[in-house]
Amino acid sequence: MTLLPDNLTIPTLYATEGQGKSVLAVAHLSHPVTGWHWYILERGAGEDADLVFGLVDGFELEYGYSDLQELEANGVVFDTDWTPEEVGVIEQDARRIRGE
Q: Rounded distance, CA 81 to CA 70, Å?
A: 22
Mean pLDDT of the chain: 96
The identity of residue 59, as a single letter, is F
Which DSSP category does 4 fall into?
S
Mean pLDDT calculated for residue range 32-50: 96
Mean pLDDT calculated for residue range 50-67: 97
Mean pLDDT calculated for residue range 56-66: 97
